[in-house]
Structure 1
Amino acid sequence: MAKTKIVLEEGMLFSIKLNENAWTLGQLCNLFKIEGKRYEQYTLAFFNYLFPIEEKLKSEIETLDLSKPIIILTINGNPIKNYGLNIIGKREINYQNVPNYKNEISQSLGLYRNKSQDFDHILKTFFGLHPWDGFYKDNYVDEVLTEGTVKRKDVKYLKDFSVEELKQILPANSIKLKQILENQ
């Protein structure tokens, strides 16, 4: 049986599994295509909502305030094909804290702030599942947060994780992990 091609549209909402007990959501806020080419860029907005199971997220999706995304990123591929995200709805885009976000999307490449990146580690860090200071720059996550976004009270730092936990969650080539291992 042939697969049905899913046509993505701005406003679509996706569930994002951070771990077995942590789910959040993203919204496709810009779909960039070059006419006549197979070139697409997907920019998603992410929100300060964390759910223990996907079903709870789905049941509350219509009541969530989606006016203040915490992060906007152009991601490194199709949200479904490359990241395995599930479509859970569609809502109007109306961001109060970043009303002109489309002005920061490149007209030639479709990249938000001229870069694309994976969202997984950034979201896990924002929600306290990875260390805030675990990136090559201590303020890396601060730099990608939207204006007015406040750091959660439950964020964690390198000191809050055991060396074994850090080995599991940080990339093997992480500068911070290498420094910790050298100082043991």
Structure 2
Amino acid sequence: MIKITKKNKLEVGQVFAVKIAHIDKWTIAQICCLPETDGYYAIGIGLFDVIEASLQSVQFNLDTYNLEKPIIVGTFDVNPKKDWTLIGSKHVCYKNFDLEKSITGTWGWINNTESGFWGILEIYFGVYPWDLFVGKSSIENKIIGERPSNIRLLKGFDLTEITNLGLLGTIKHANRLDELNEK
């Protein structure tokens, strides 16, 4: 939930460039719905299978992207104007996700929940392990459509790489160190 202020003026259709953590790559996110309740936005965001080498590439190629099939749609806990770069606006018309049926709950959330954003893009684009979270938190429960071809499972990472990604505490807490590659 984001407090509605003059600085936080958001609109459905706005497209933002999003830097993917730990790699020098960019993707895009679009505001797909924007319910307002009690002075707050519940921001519905569509994420897309777009990866570019630079912010300039994302800006330049915006008109070429197919924004009809997001990979993930959720009510995310981010402030797009604060955390990302606004690059334009496009009509929202998703062909693989029914927004009208999915907007639920008192706050107008998508599928009656506010989704966490941490790690979603990094998991999808193979930076973090695909199986980092299990159960209801699994990315398998969030994506629309097929698994991407570039996923990496925990067993493909070694201790040094997990440490460098800042995931060692998470892996230890989940008691999953034994799943790491022993290189």
TM-score if structure 2 supplies the norm length? 0.85
**Counterpart secondary structure, 1:132:** coil
Aligned residues: 175
Task: For 1:1-184, list aligned pairs within 5 A.
Answer: 5-19=7-21, 20-34=23-37, 37-81=38-82, 84-98=83-97, 100-137=98-135, 140-146=138-144, 149-169=145-165, 170=167, 172-174=169-171, 178-180=175-177
**Deviation at residue 116 of structure 1 after TM alignment:** 1.2
**Counterpart secondary structure, 1:150:** coil
Q: C-alpha distance in 2, partners of 1:151/1:173?
A: 23
CA contact (8 A) 1:13 1:91 kept: yes
**Counterpart secondary structure, 1:24:** strand
Q: C-alpha distance in 1, partners of 2:136/2:39?
A: 37
Q: C-alpha distance in 2, partners of 1:160/1:174?
A: 14
**Counterpart secondary structure, 1:67:** coil
Distance 1:139 1:96, change over 3 A: same
**Deviation at residue 102 of structure 1 after TM alignment:** 2.6
**Deviation at residue 51 of structure 1 after TM alignment:** 0.6
Q: C-alpha distance in 2, partners of 1:180/1:171?
A: 8
Q: C-alpha distance in 2, partners of 1:92/1:175?
A: 44
Q: Which amino acid aligns with 1:18?
A: I
**Counterpart secondary structure, 2:177:** helix
Distance 1:138 1:131, change over 3 A: farther
Q: C-alpha distance in 1, partners of 2:174/2:25?
A: 24
Q: Which amino acid aligns with 1:142?
A: E
Q: C-alpha distance in 2, partners of 1:138/1:159?
A: 21
CA contact (8 A) 2:124 2:130 kept: yes
CA contact (8 A) 2:155 2:179 kept: no
Q: Which amino acid aligns with 2:112?
A: N
Structure 2 unaligned residues grouped into runs of 5+: 1-5
Q: Which amino acid aligns with 1:73?
A: G
Q: Which 10-residue stretch deviates more, 164-173 or 128-137? A: 164-173
Q: C-alpha distance in 2, partners of 1:168/1:177?
A: 18
Distance 1:181 1:159, change over 3 A: closer
Q: Which 10-residue stretch deviates more, 63-72 or 174-183? A: 174-183
**Counterpart secondary structure, 1:155:** coil
**Counterpart secondary structure, 1:58:** helix
Q: Which amino acid aligns with 2:92?
A: I
Distance 1:181 1:85, change over 3 A: same
CA contact (8 A) 1:135 1:176 kept: no
